[in-house]
Structure 1
């Protein structure tokens, strides 16, 4: 829809043929004028008494050591130019970066040492846990030995010396012999000595592991200090690199400024060019202002609306008793009633809509023909009479007069009579091509019929049958 709104004023003739050319030329001229004004502004800034830009570049060059900070007494453009040209001889300082493959090897060594330390720490933890269990076991043995030694005070008694009686005879199986108690005591004493003998060895082993772990820590710290030193070297190299980058940026600005000076020197007639360009822009603007597109569109659409109203009344369309117009803003047809405008979508049914579409198409093409607008002189309509057919006939390939009611036949005849009248009114300046199912028993209809594809010699439709079979 927006494309239609953009192009229709030109197609209707509201915009003259050379307006688009003038608008495009005005855009180009304005762009050129702005460029000239910007160039003049820069020229005044450079060639005038204000050397802010040159002084700023000089200060930046001095801050990073490109130019001696003691340079003073620069009073002319040439003085600044000579001073700034000296930086073009600058060469960047090179600084070696550390060997990253060596850093990687040290990093791998640190990882290996840390892994070894974790394994040693795990051994220390396991040994200490084992030692703690042995100590707990030793404590338990001490308790058992104390108990057995207390029982050993009655070493003269055996279970046979107890008079149990018949009822308690079964208890005899639970009372140990003295020899069994003594054997248990000897066994526990042996285990106790084993524990006491192994403990110093375990403690010594733990100390050895701790010393080994500490040595690994020292070695890791040594490697890390070496990496830190290499990274410090990298930081210094990066500083040189950053400085070189800053210097490169400043030199680029200075080179651009020096080039701009040369451009201005060779273009001394900027003010004359600006005045000439301003005259060209003003002439084009005045030319375009004189051509009021909106007023032209209003006038054209009013004339088209008059034609639409006349033809809508001829077709006896609903709401045609009101002025009919083409609403360019919303791209629809409107009937201006006394109370409010009525858009096409609220004006009757399908047959009425077909009628209004024919009216607006022919009214537009009448204007195109009469004003020699750049539009092809033909219209193609497909089945304009279909809206008048009853539902039971819409699927028929051919619909003749005798299949229709009187009011249906009359409406379709009126539709085609309107089309014939408009074509004759325009004296053959427009060609109308229609494909339809209707077959009217009407002299003008039969005379205009070019081909009956169902009965003609070629006996095929617009799309040949073999294309889809």
Structure 2
């Protein structure tokens, strides 16, 4: 069960200053008033108190005269009071909150009773839990190789519509226009709609961890191999030792123990030995690299051919099985034991002589198909084994190429340094120093705990989880849920008499917009003319989503906040309804009727808060007004007495 908003409270900068704006749960609440009376600040105050990472309250009277903000959250049998100070001095945001569990209907406490000791992250976790969000669920982020832990901050994407969002053709959800937010919204929508199965989410998380463990183990094994005597560095050091005459020339590939033995022998020679001046170790390494590349390309081409053969085998096998299933019905034609050349009808058991030649031909085809299937069945495992062998060979060649490149790099750098030394003894001493350092490092590696090769076990676990998750129905569930939600969006669009409402309407979570599928092609929200359409589809979509959340227990606050939806009809500076034309007035009342109708259907399970300039006399509007903040009645979010006290 999740929550609705019972009240917003602000505390002034002077002792005893407190102002509470109450709201009714389960119904429509309209706060109407003139510009600059604090209406839009209500949304930003709620956002700030619900563990925002920034300070969204805009500069003005609210910032100037308010020291602390608070919101009272309620759900059946429970109430939570959350307060947060305005940033002090030059701080960008206050990082501690006051979170108090209260009995239902408890009034906001006085400022001096509040203790701000709850860190922002802890407060976010408390609020997420109060909202009903499962803290163990992780969902994959879109466009990034990370996981998202859904929280209250993600749920608010579907609860707020700021003044610059409610009729914006380019954004559908709150904060969608900010960097990185669109991919986050795409990632969490399946969870809040209920398409993410908790057990499958845990399995996906475990699969991700296993893949990371496999990568880490491979990296550790590679690092361990790099410092062993058989590494490219060891081979390069041996070539350097030959170059300066510390050891006699060697031919062919040297085993690891032989390389180590030669390096140790190079340390006991006090003077260079006669070498072979004509030898060029760098050229030999490049020749070896060319051959390795040739073998790598050859092996890769062979694997590609084998995979093509395997695909063709599988395709033929599928077709052959389908054809055999059709011919298998011939088994219904029984053979008369006395007249073997006669087939008998499976229904009446009478002889069917006319069908003999056809049946014999078809039976022959069936036998040929069985033979082909048997041959394909025996070939396929062999091809798979050849592919696996080729993949292993590719991995070996990759390692050899890496070792060869390492040896080339090491030897090139070393020889460049040695050639700057004209003295043979000094050159030999430099090489001996490098060999000594390498041998010490190799000895430390031998003494260190050996890296356990867990690759095979991890790969088996990964394969098992992938097979277990292969039948995941998350995408199918999400598609099904969106199809049902789309039907509701269309109904509401028709009730609001929006353009394109006669066509199929769908919520596109890939593009995060609404799309109408017309005979001329899809039309996205941004291409639908008229701000009235933009507003109407925003409201239709969010109402339909909240109906789904309420009916299917989605862990989203049961509140929708709209800031000035009448802006598409109503001049911003207007204070009444005289400027509103008859047609615009009717459309605006239809909008509020749609809000009220949804709330009636949900029977108290949802709350809507609207901040408006308009103040219509029609009962469909006026009966839901909870606050009127006008200059004429000297009413606003921040009481004028607070400002008068400051001035005095």
TM range (shorter): 0.5 to 0.7
Q: CA deviation at 1:82?
A: 6.2
Q: Indicate yes or no: 2:525 matched with 1:328.
A: no
Q: CA deviation at 1:30?
A: 2.2
The 8 Å contact of residues 64 and 243 in structure 1, kept in 2 or not, is answered as no
The 8 Å contact of residues 313 and 321 in structure 1, kept in 2 or not, is answered as yes
Aligned to 1:410: 586
Say which SS state the counterpart of residue 438 (structure 1) adopts: coil
Q: Indicate yes or no: 2:457 matched with 1:276.
A: yes
Q: CA deviation at 1:375?
A: 2.8
Say which SS state the counterpart of residue 207 (structure 2) adopts: helix
Aligned to 2:576: 399
**Alignment counterpart, residue 377 of structure 1, candidates 558, 579, 588:** 558
Report matched runs for 1:226-375 at 5 Å.
244-262=429-447, 266=450, 270=453, 273-375=454-556
Going from structure 1 to structure 2, the CA distance change for 1:71 and 1:238 (only over 3 Å counts) comes to: closer
The 8 Å contact of residues 559 and 609 in structure 2, kept in 1 or not, is answered as yes
Q: CA deviation at 1:324?
A: 1.3
Say which SS state the counterpart of residue 609 (structure 2) adopts: strand
Say which SS state the counterpart of residue 433 (structure 1) adopts: strand
Aligned to 1:445: 621
The 8 Å contact of residues 560 and 608 in structure 2, kept in 1 or not, is answered as yes
Q: CA deviation at 1:20?
A: 5.7
Say which SS state the counterpart of residue 506 (structure 2) adopts: strand
1:85-130 Cα shifts (integer Å, max 9, x gaps): 5778999xxxxxxxxxxxxxxxxxxxxxxxxxxxxxxxxxxxxxxx
Say which SS state the counterpart of residue 539 (structure 2) adopts: helix
Q: CA deviation at 1:418?
A: 0.7
The 8 Å contact of residues 267 and 432 in structure 2, kept in 1 or not, is answered as no
Going from structure 1 to structure 2, the CA distance change for 1:425 and 1:261 (only over 3 Å counts) comes to: same
Report matched runs for 1:198-237 at 5 Å.
none
Q: CA deviation at 1:358?
A: 0.5
Say which SS state the counterpart of residue 451 (structure 1) adopts: strand
The 8 Å contact of residues 561 and 608 in structure 2, kept in 1 or not, is answered as yes
Aligned to 2:149: none
Structure 1: tracts of 5 or more residues without a match: 92-234
The 8 Å contact of residues 315 and 415 in structure 1, kept in 2 or not, is answered as yes
Q: CA deviation at 1:344?
A: 2.2
Measure, in 2, the Cα distance between the counterparts of 1:246 and 1:375.
68
The 8 Å contact of residues 247 and 266 in structure 2, kept in 1 or not, is answered as no
Going from structure 1 to structure 2, the CA distance change for 1:247 and 1:55 (only over 3 Å counts) comes to: closer
Measure, in 1, the Cα distance between the counterparts of 2:213 and 2:536.
53
Aligned residues: 317
Measure, in 2, the Cα distance between the counterparts of 1:76 and 1:262.
21
Measure, in 2, the Cα distance between the counterparts of 1:310 and 1:446.
26
Say which SS state the counterpart of residue 439 (structure 2) adopts: helix
Aligned to 2:606: 430
Going from structure 1 to structure 2, the CA distance change for 1:69 and 1:327 (only over 3 Å counts) comes to: same
Measure, in 1, the Cα distance between the counterparts of 2:199 and 2:620.
43
Q: Indicate yes or no: 2:606 matched with 1:421.
A: no
Q: CA deviation at 1:312?
A: 1.0
Q: CA deviation at 1:436?
A: 0.7
Aligned to 1:56: 235
1:345-393 Cα shifts (integer Å, max 9, x gaps): 343412222111100111122223333334333222111122223xxx5
- Greater C-alpha Rg: 1
Structure 2: tracts of 5 or more residues without a match: 1-181, 271-419
The two structures have a TM-score, normalised by structure 2, of 0.41
- Specify which structure has the bigger relative contact order, considering alpha-carbon pairs within 8 angstroms and separated by 6 or more residues: 2
1:169-209 Cα shifts (integer Å, max 9, x gaps): xxxxxxxxxxxxxxxxxxxxxxxxxxxxxxxxxxxxxxxxx
Query: Quick check: 377-386 or 413-422, which moved more?
Result: 377-386
Measure, in 1, the Cα distance between the counterparts of 2:537 and 2:234.
75
Measure, in 1, the Cα distance between the counterparts of 2:457 and 2:620.
65
Measure, in 2, the Cα distance between the counterparts of 1:331 and 1:8.
10
Q: CA deviation at 1:248?
A: 3.7
Q: CA deviation at 1:452?
A: 0.6
The two structures have a TM-score, normalised by structure 1, of 0.54
Report matched runs for 1:31-180 at 5 Å.
31-36=212-217, 56=235, 59-60=238-239, 62-63=241-242, 69=248, 84=263
More helix, by proportion: 1
More strand, by proportion: 2
Say which SS state the counterpart of residue 440 (structure 1) adopts: coil
